[in-house]
Amino acid sequence: MAGNKAVVYKGTGRVGVEDIGYPDLVLRDGPGVNPLNVGRKCEHGVILKVVTTNICGSDQHMVRGRTTAPEGLVLGHEITGEVIEVGRDVEFMKKGDLVSVPFNIACGRCRSCREQKTHVCLNVNPDRPGSAYGYVDMGGWVGGQSEYVMVPYADFQLLKFPDKDKAMEKILDLTMLSDIFPTGFHGAVSAGVKPGSTVYIAGAGPVGLAAAHSAQLLGASVVIVGDLNPERLAQARSFGCETVDLSKHDNLGELIEHILGEPVVDCAVDCVGFEAHGHGPNHSEAPATVLNSIMTVTRVGGGLGIPGLYVTGDPGGIDADAQEGTLKIRFGLGWAKAHTFVTGQTPVMKYNHSLMMSILSGRAQIAKAVNATLISIDDAPKGYSEFDSGAAKKFVIDPHGSVR
């Protein structure tokens, strides 16, 4: 049987590449696997030969030691692959199909799934609604930064590309369908972006850049991206965004006023999450900064999309409250301004087919927007290090060297 190289969390600040063994259609015991999930039979699943799998900022939270992730956890929830084995109960997926895997694991049978709320499936994680591959407290489903991976509920979950050869020509775009493109799009949609909107995007990492490109696709008149990293801000400008450098200035409203003539936008998207820093030359970690700042600069009656990750357990939090996800948010301000808040994981399946068609038609240029950068699986530790240092790149792992 073939081996299976995978990217594994080795403790704070460290990842390694190890052979974890070829997968089968059972969820075996291992690091992070919920005891109630051990031995779960998945004849409704498939084995994929992974074509591309991406490093995500959510992975970085774990690698930095900012979650309760156990050592040995196999990482990776952004997966695109070729079906090479199908379970007994799979009817519609065939060997050779090239597919995108939503990062949310969803059964397709529960009330949440039937209501398109696949991000909070009731049947895949014994701890709480919602699950994902290779992620802490998500049931223990094995991650896909690997050569091969098992994917359950294949008929329901997998998005098949209609033409395999054409898909491979655009694979660096299509690989973003598993997470960051739908996540950025969901942030923009839930904030209420529409033709003519002025939009502020907090964070110029890959999700922020995906949200900015999504806002453009939705017809925004001006998209402003804020960050502390000049290299990432330059990447945002490369596809037509306005930018504000928050490492130099601490008054976001004034910076927006210089661009728009008024200190407010129609809607805003938080693509930073719980490791947010304050603004200005002497900035330090202040986890409620982004939430409070976007309430300040969003007009009365506006919307806030919050796809940025917030957690219930952060061992590295700056105080006892932050360590359990309790933040000092100016909720009264949001209430007074009649803001709409949308939080949580993104229901990828709600968007991925439409975004696939936007890519295949040439309308969406998401790989260019996020600066997709191909690496081998053996170079994954280096990719994690560069990404953590602030590189303006979205690292795409090619485990088999199959991307031209």
- Report domain extents, the chain: 5-179+347-397, 181-343
Beta-carbon contacts of 104 under 8 Å, excluding residues fewer than 6 positions away, are 118, 119, 121, 130, 131, 132, 345, 346, 347, 348, 349
Position 201, amino acid: I
d(CA 375, CA 372): 10
Return the residue matching tokens 């129609």: 266
- List CB contacts of 241: < 8 A, sequence separation 6 or more: 201, 212, 223, 224, 225
pLDDT score, position 386: 96
- DSSP line for 53-92: EE--HHHHHHHTT-S-PPTTPBP---EEEEEEEE-TT--S
**Helices within 218-275 (DSSP H only):** 230-237, 252-260
The CB-side HSE value for 54 (13 A sphere, CA atoms) comes to 31
Q: Are 92 and 78 in contact (CB under 8 A)?
A: no
pLDDT, residue 295, reads 97
Beta strand extents in 253-397 (DSSP E only): 265-270, 298-306, 340-343, 372-375, 394-397
Check residue 1 and give its pLDDT.
53
Which residues of the chain are modeled with pLDDT < 50?
none
Please name the residues in contact with 199: beta carbons below 8 A apart, sequence gap of 6 or more.
Answer: 188, 191, 193, 212, 215, 220, 222, 223, 224, 265, 266, 267, 268, 269
Lateral strand order in the sheet of 222-227: 242-245, 222-227, 198-202, 265-270, 298-306, 340-343
pLDDT score for 2: 74
pTM beyond 0.85: the answer is yes
93-103 exposure pattern, b = at least 16 Cβ within 10 A, e = fewer: beeebbbbbbb
CB atoms closer than 10 angstroms to residue 259: 16
DSSP-H helix ranges across 158-281: 164-169, 171-174, 180-191, 206-217, 230-237, 252-260
Classified as helix, coil or strand, 314 is coil
- 288, 277 in Cβ contact below 8 A? no
In CATH, 5-179+347-397 is 3.50.50.60: no
β 265-270/298-306 pair status:
parallel
Q: Which two tokens stand for residue 372?
A: 């997709």
CA distances from 396 to 41, 216, 387 (A): 30, 24, 11
Helix (H) or strand (E) holding 47: strand 46-54
Could you tell me which of 18, 56, 16 has the C-alpha nearest to residue 147? 18
Closest listed residue to residue 368, CA positions, set 119, 176, 142: 176
CATH topology of domain 181-343: Rossmann fold (3.40.50)
Contact of 283 with 247, CB cutoff 8 Å: yes
Q: What is the pLDDT of residue 194?
A: 98
Q: Tell me, what's the pLDDT at 374? A: 98
